[in-house]
Structure 1
Amino acid sequence: MEHTIPGTVSVKGREFLYIESRPGEDFHRLVDNAMSSCEDVPLPHSGGAIEHNVHLVLQEGVSMIAVSFKGDVEGWRRKLTSYCDSDNRIWGIAANAKMRLSNGKQVNLHESNFTFEE
């Protein structure tokens, strides 16, 4: 079965974000922690976030999960990235098969190591 890598195909009104995940942490715990952190950053006004059951493993061994969100795209981005910054997590916004990471590195998604959950 061929899989589409999140962030390689543009979807109107949706943004793709990869977030460093820690061992034993699932998507729901990550989002719950993000929404309850950084009280100075408002919650998104609308929309929602979903997990794509895809893990990107960076060369240095960091595992990242693929998340996308719609609705208040700016609000979701600001809340999730603020949480990542406050918790010292790497994050990156994917578009056009490329992703610039919060640590300044750039990733070509077509040349990356992905694991797809069934």
Structure 2
Amino acid sequence: MTADVGPVGLSEAAAYAAALGLPQPSFVQMPHHGSRHNVTPSVLDAWLGPRVPKGTVVGTAFCSIGANKPDYPRGQVKNAFIRRGFKVFSTRTRWLSHYHGQGHDGAVPAVAEDFSSKVEGL
């Protein structure tokens, strides 16, 4: 998942991925900075799988967000990814590096976003 694609495009891509027999991704980018207009429960189920027991981790999601956007990713979207077992990381005031091994000089561990007990209304 990436860019500004919406539910229709994501559904089409999920169907194509399934037809090719591709495995469920374990590293994804939240579409459009975590906007709730770009995903639906059925799209997330198709790409990430159904909800999993609390504390289960099956993948990593990252969200590209500017420092002046405290409302993103939207709580509903972030929670939906977390419920499907994806830890959510946001850029905000830093860049993210996904690596195995030593990493980059001066790099510090990223901290996953917390589940939001209070989210915005529709």
Tell me the TM-score normalized by structure 2.
0.28
Give the structure with the higher percent strand.
1
Greater length-normalized contact order (CA 8 Å, ≥ 6 residues apart): 1
TM-score by length of 1: 0.28
